[in-house]
Amino acid sequence: MKKSSEVRDELNAVSPSFCLAKWLQVTIHLQNGHTHSCHHPMTHKVSLDELAYDPSALHNTSEKKEYRKQMLEGTRPKECQYCWNIEDAHPDNLSDRTFKSADDWAYTRLGEISTAPWDRSVNPAYIEVSFGNECNFKCAYCAPHISSGLMTEYLKHGHYSGMPQFSLDNIRDLGQFPYSKDEHNPYVDAFWKWWPSASKDLKTFRITGGEPLLNPNTYRFFEFLRQNPMPDLSLAINSNLGIPRGTLDKFIREVKYITDHKLIKDFQFFTSVDTYGKNAEFIRFGLDYDEYMENVKLFLREVPQAQLIFMCTYNAFSVLNFRKFLDQVIELKRAHKNEWNYTKVFLDTPYLKDPRFLSCYVLTEDFWPVVRADLEYMKQFAVGDAPGDALFYEHEVSKFERILNWLENLEESMHRQGMRRTLYDFIQEYEDRKGIRFHDYCPEYAAFYELCKYS
């Protein structure tokens, strides 16, 4: 494996703005025909005219080809500002331009991509797709074009006053209004037309949503796999794991079949939960926490070849009961190990950034010791003498540590106080719409709630 800095030099030899992800990685939102590569730039709409003669325009849009041309000529596409900011901060900094290009799925095609004409359509090596927005959850920080449950709520009540960016008018203006599951969706048609070709060079396929386990296209993909094994493919699927038992059983049967018969290289199951118990149920509305954990255990028992990754979007209501969640994760990590004694259960803790009033940004300094103690607790399980003794890996600990670093550097401000009041107003609307009481779900936050009320 090449060192990252060597890959950066090879990329720079093509051009200082060259990045393989622009050719080889794509995230496609079929519910509204939006696409981007990689996931950092804003999405843009795929033209139905382009799709009519080339279904690969789901990835090879004329807009993206322009950016590829810029990259080959040494011009930085504006949409990649995320990487330019990192690279400009220090000459030695490496951005995702290097890390993504250094990944196996990308690096092996460096020669092919750097010498091909800029306007040639290419098959991606990494596809992330959302087949639709069907979802039975109405999470506090989610949006109606991503969850059909929230869309129903927004059609009835409109947007939350603190979240004007998700107003249906705004979503419509941005071309992001989703097709409902009963409507004919030309983007889904185009995807399946493109798939025989798109799947040829594919190394990673990730299905996201909405809730992928509720979408028939997920099962259409399994059917394809049964007829067309892809032994080099890493498959990943996201789920809220809050689906009806019959649907879960069907999904487990499919995954068991494809892993038992080695139709793919490996399988990663990403499942979302942000903290423990009722606090988690408040923020991810629709979740039954105990049932969720039972579903996690069922999946791990039934599909022993899979890895399971908890995706915990750490937010304002993650903090006070996080230790109880950590204990359950530790227990699962210990109980589910591979033949070399390494755990197959992982924890990923990105932190919520938007909406800000639901993020840890609104919390006060007296919450920080709780976060710090949880970090120290994780570190206790990150050491060991024999292989597999350490239950948390360095990347899991450092990701959580990043949250504490961010919090400890926050300064008190009028803006934060204003966000607390926005949170209080949001909770009133949330209670009314959902027919619940905040204090039944988050009694530990009573003092903080009062603070928000008078902010």
The residues in 60-119 that bind ligand SF4, with binding defined as CB under 6 A, are: 80, 82-83, 95-97, 100
Q: Output the smallest distance, CB 71 to ligand SF4, in A.
A: 8
Could you tell me which stretch among 17-25, 295-303, 315-323, 411-419 binds ligand SF4 (CB under 6 A)?
17-25
The residues in 388-427 that bind ligand SF4, with binding defined as CB under 6 A, are: none
HSE-up of residue 415 (Cα within 13 Å, Cβ side): 4
The answer to the question of residue 273 lying near ligand SF4 (CB under 6 A) is: no
- Nearest residue (CB) to ligand SF4, 91 versus 231: 91
333, 395 contact by CB (below 8 A): no
273-303 b/e (C-beta count within 10 Å ≥ 16 → b) = bbbbbbbbbbbbbbbebeebbebbbebbeeb
Q: Output the smallest distance, CB 350 to ligand SF4, in A.
A: 17
Q: Which helix (H) or strand (E) is 239 found in, with range?
A: strand 230-239
Which one-letter DSSP state was computed for residue 338? -
- Nearest residue (CB) to ligand SF4, 40 versus 453: 40
Backbone angles phi, psi at 343, to 5 degrees: -65, 150
Q: Hey, what are 325's tokens? A: 């969640």
Q: Output the smallest distance, CB 307 to ligand SF4, in A.
A: 24
- Nearest residue (CB) to ligand SF4, 112 versus 189: 112
Task: Count H helices and E strands in the chain, helices first.
Answer: 21, 9
Q: Output the smallest distance, CB 270 to ligand SF4, in A.
A: 20
Q: Output the smallest distance, CB 362 to ligand SF4, in A.
A: 29
Residues β-bridged to residue 230: 264
Q: Output the smallest distance, CB 353 to ligand SF4, in A.
A: 17
- Nearest residue (CB) to ligand SF4, 85 versus 152: 85
Alpha carbons 252 and 254: distance in angstroms, whole number: 5
Q: Output the smallest distance, CB 245 to ligand SF4, in A.
A: 39
Backbone angles phi, psi at 255, to 5 degrees: -65, -40
Could you tell me which stretch among 19-27, 44-52, 239-247, 248-256 binds ligand SF4 (CB under 6 A)?
19-27
Alpha carbons 286 and 301: distance in angstroms, whole number: 24
Q: Output the smallest distance, CB 95 to ligand SF4, in A.
A: 6
- The total of other beta-carbon atoms located within 10 Å of residue 228's CB is 11
Could you tell me which stretch among 32-40, 129-137, 173-181, 442-450 binds ligand SF4 (CB under 6 A)?
32-40
- Nearest residue (CB) to ligand SF4, 63 versus 431: 63
Backbone angles phi, psi at 82, to 5 degrees: -50, -45
**CA angle at 239 for the pair 237 and 242, rounded to the nearest 5°:** 155
- Nearest residue (CB) to ligand SF4, 158 versus 350: 350
Per-residue binding string, ligand SF4, 33-62, x by CB under 6 A, is ----xx-xx---------------------
Q: Output the smallest distance, CB 82 to ligand SF4, in A.
A: 5
Cis peptide before 117 (omega within 30 of 0): no
The residues in 304-363 that bind ligand SF4, with binding defined as CB under 6 A, are: none
HSE-up of residue 64 (Cα within 13 Å, Cβ side): 32
Provide the CA 130 distance to its chain's centre, in angstroms: 11
- Nearest residue (CB) to ligand SF4, 43 versus 215: 43
23, 122 contact by CB (below 8 A): yes
| Residue of the chain from 7, 11, 21, 213 that contacts ligand SF4 (CB under 6 A) | 21
User: Binding-site residue total for ligand SF4 (CB under 6 A)?
Assistant: 14
Alpha carbons 182 and 83: distance in angstroms, whole number: 39
The residue ranges that bind ligand SF4 (CB under 6 A) are 19, 21-22, 37-38, 40-41, 80, 82-83, 95-97, 100
